[in-house]
Amino acid sequence: MCPDTLADPSALDGERPEPLKPTREQAVDAVRLLLQWAGDDPGREGLLGTPERVVRAFEEHFAGYHVDPVALLQRTFEETDGYDEMVMLKDIRFESHCEHHMEPIIGRVHIAYLPCNRVIGISKLARLVDVFAKRLTIQEKMTAQIANTLDEVLQPKGVAVVIDAAHQCMTTRGVHKPGVSMQTSRMLGVFRTDPTTRREFLAMLNLPGLGVPGNV
């Protein structure tokens, strides 16, 4: 049964209140302190502008904290002439940072859904990825957040999300294993309950090994 209305955005707002944000000057001073702690001189010529540049980079890396993913998905389209087959967006490149070491996570996201009366602009799917990628995260959580938000707001018959990414926290430090990638998936609705639908999606990605329901 297809629902008649979109989910109430307020029903999805379960995040904790935002803590008091430090000033920009405090953030710049914190970077300067870290440079000094690392053993360098933040007053030397090559590092004079580095604290400010790092703060500007942080504004870009973590812009997702300032975007509401629910509001992003509110505009949908119902003039589909009865289209009810799979909608898929493949190879959405993203850059994120792990919340454990703040090292880059770089990879691609594949999203599919089976519409129920309404569809959403494909650019919104790419922007939804960016909302959660531009935050400190882990890949498992990011996978679930993308799928859960799309499912709760759009309310389709099913949602599938697969992420394939490399984690610099294990390729450039720690165990130092370059060339390793991590795959996670989240299957909801018919993608979870209907093996045929799930196989069709995974076959389009050439990923038959992820065909087991219940993957994160």
Catalytic residue among 52, 74, 101, 116: 101
Whether the pLDDT of residue 213 is over 60: the answer is no
> What is the per-residue pLDDT for 215?
44
The length of the chain, given as a count of residues:
216
State yes or no: is 98 an active-site residue. Answer: yes
Which comes out higher in pLDDT, residue 136 or 207?
Answer: 136
Torsion over CA: 207, 213, 215, 216 (sign) = positive
Establish how many alpha carbons lie within 13 A of residue 68's alpha carbon, considering only the half-sphere containing its beta carbon.
11
pTM reported for the whole predicted model: 0.85
Catalytic residue among 61, 110, 139, 152: 139
| 167 is a catalytic site residue | yes
Q: Name the catalytic one among 98, 116, 183, 200.
A: 98
Q: Give the right CATH number for 68-211 from 3.30.1130.10, 3.40.50.12780, 1.10.1660.10, 3.40.50.720.
A: 3.30.1130.10
Cβ contacts of residue 139 below 8 Å, gap of 6+? 105, 107, 163, 165, 167, 182, 184
Residue 140 falls in the annotated catalytic set: no
With a cut of 70, say whether residue 122 has pLDDT above it.
Answer: yes
> Does 169 qualify as catalytic in the annotation?
yes
Which of the following is catalytic: 103, 169, 183, 200?
169
Is 99 annotated as catalytic?
yes
Would you place residue 120 in the very low, low, confident or very high pLDDT band (cuts 50, 70, 90)? very high
CATH assignment of 20-61, among 1.10.3720.10, 3.30.70.141, 3.40.190.10, 1.10.286.10: 1.10.286.10
Question: Annotated catalytic, 97?
Answer: no
CB 146 within 8 A of CB 113: no
Instruction: Give yes or no for a contact between 150 and 103, defined as CB atoms under 8 angstroms apart.
Output: no
Please, are residues 171 and 101 in contact by the beta-carbon 8 Å criterion?
A: no
Residue 166: alpha-carbon gap to chain centroid? 14
Active-site position among 25, 26, 36, 100: 100
